[in-house]
C-alpha cells in the first residue's frame, strides 16, 4: 500500500503564512500548502517536489487523454492551490468540460478571484503562489503565462469550467474521461477512499472511456477500479513511493482506430 501524504518535519521551512494557511518550499523549488494553526495539517504535496509530483501523477493522465483523443471531460478532485487546473490549462486550449471540487471555501474563492482578475480580494501570499505555479508550467510547456491564464479565464467565461464545493454522493458530473483524484490520503479523508464511496463514484462519474489517476494506491481502490471495468496499470509512485494509481477504462470504440466515428 502506498497512501500517505508526508507530515511536516522540523527541517521543513515555512515560506509564508496567511491565517491558517502555511506555505512550504518543496525540494524542486515549488510551493505547497498545509492547513492548521501551526501548519500541522497534512501537506498537499510530496516534499520532494509539488510541481514534479503533479507532472508525474496527473500530467501522465492528461498525456494519455491527449494520446487517445477522447473527448476532454476532466474532473479534478481537490483544487487546493490549483496545480491541476493550471496543468489542464497548460495542456489544453479547448475542452468540453473541466469540473473542480474544493471543499474549503477560501481556497475556492481565492483561486477563482485570481482567475477573474479580482486580486484585491485575494491575499498577496496566495497571488504570489499562484503566479509562481503559473511560471513553472509556462517554462515546462514552453507556453506563455498569459495564454495559460487566459485559457482558465476562457473556460470559466464560456461555462466549460465548473467549480463545486464538497464531493459527496450527489455527483454533479458524469461521463468524465479523465479523473485527477487528489483529495488527501485515506487516513485524513476516509469518506472518499472508502470502498463503498469509490464503488458509487466509479459507477456514476466515468464515461465509457476514462483515465483515472491518483498519487496513492490502496487495495480497495485497485479492487473497485478492476470491478468497474478499469484496467489497472502498474506505475511507480513519485520519489520513493512504491506505486501510484493509473487505470484506464476503454469500453467504447476508440477514435484512433475508427477515425471517421462521429463523437
Ligand X SMILES: C[S@@+](CC[C@H](N)C(=O)[O-])C[C@H]1O[C@@H](n2cnc3c(N)ncnc32)[C@H](O)[C@@H]1O
Residues forming contacts to ligand X in the complex (CB under 6 A) are 44, 54, 78, 80-84, 101-104, 107, 166-167, 182-184, 189, 192
User: Between 108 and 156, whose beta carbon lies closer to ligand X?
Assistant: 108
User: Between 81 and 221, whose beta carbon lies closer to ligand X?
Assistant: 81
List of residues 6+ apart from 238 with CB closer than 8 A: 46, 48, 49, 52, 53, 56, 57, 215, 244
**Cα separation values, 242 from 101, 234, 235, 245, Å:** 27, 10, 9, 10
User: Between 165 and 226, whose beta carbon lies closer to ligand X?
Assistant: 165
Q: How far is the CB of 83 from ligand X (least distance, A)?
A: 3
Q: How far is the CB of 185 from ligand X (least distance, A)?
A: 8
Q: How far is the CB of 102 from ligand X (least distance, A)?
A: 5
Q: Of 66, 70, 62, 78, which is closest to residue 213 (Cα–Cα)?
A: 62
User: Between 26 and 84, whose beta carbon lies closer to ligand X?
Assistant: 84
User: Between 48 and 255, whose beta carbon lies closer to ligand X?
Assistant: 48
CB 132 within 8 A of CB 31: yes
Determine the angle formed by the axes of helices 195-204 and 219-227, rounding to 10 degrees: 30
Q: How far is the CB of 148 from ligand X (least distance, A)?
A: 15
List of residues 6+ apart from 76 with CB closer than 8 A: 84, 85, 88, 98, 99, 100, 101, 180, 182
Q: How far is the CB of 258 from ligand X (least distance, A)?
A: 34
User: Between 12 and 182, whose beta carbon lies closer to ligand X?
Assistant: 182
Q: How far is the CB of 133 from ligand X (least distance, A)?
A: 8
Amino acid at each position: 500500500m502506498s497512501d500517505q501524504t508526508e507530515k511536516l518535519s522540523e527541517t521543513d521551512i515555512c515560506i509564508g503564512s496567511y491565517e491558517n494557511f502555511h506555505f512550504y518550499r518543496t525540494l524542486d523549488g515549488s510551493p505547497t500548502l498545509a492547513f492548521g494553526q501551526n501548519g500541522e495539517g497534512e501537506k498537499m504535496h510530496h516534499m520532494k517536489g509539488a510541481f514534479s509530483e503533479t507532472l508525474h501523477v496527473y500530467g501522465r493522465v492528461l498525456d494519455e487523454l491527449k494520446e487517445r483523443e477522447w473527448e476532454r471531460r476532466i474532473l479534478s478532485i481537490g483544487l487546493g492551490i490549483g496545480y491541476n487546473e493550471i496543468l489542464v490549462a497548460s495542456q489544453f486550449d479547448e475542452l468540453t468540460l473541466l469540473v473542480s471540487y474544493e471543499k474549503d471555501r477560501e481556497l475556492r474563492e481565492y483561486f477563482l478571484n485570481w482567475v477573474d482578475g479580482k486580486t484585491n480580494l485575494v491575499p498577496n501570499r496566495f497571488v504570489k503562489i499562484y503566479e509562481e505555479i503559473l511560471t513553472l508550467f509556462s517554462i515546462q510547456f514552453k507556453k506563455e503565462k498569459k495564454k495559460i491564464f487566459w485559457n482558465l479565464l476562457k473556460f470559466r467565461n464560456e461555462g466549460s469550467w465548473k467549480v463545486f464545493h464538497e464531493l459527496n454522493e450527489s455527483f454533479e458530473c458524469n461521463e468524465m474521461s479523465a479523473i485527477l483524484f487528489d483529495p488527501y490520503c485515506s487516513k485524513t479523508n476516509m469518506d472518499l477512499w472508502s470502498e463503498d464511496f469509490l464503488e458509487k463514484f466509479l459507477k456514476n462519474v466515468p464515461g465509457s472511456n476514462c483515465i483515472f489517476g491518483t498519487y496513492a494506491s490502496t487495495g480497495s481502490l485497485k479492487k473497485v477500479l478492476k470491478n468497474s471495468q478499469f484496467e489497472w496499470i502498474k506505475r511507480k509512485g513519485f520519489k520513493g513511493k512504491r506505486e501510484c494509481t493509473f487505470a484506464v477504462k476503454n469500453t467504447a470504440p476508440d477514435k484512433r482506430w475508427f477515425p471517421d466515428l462521429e463523437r
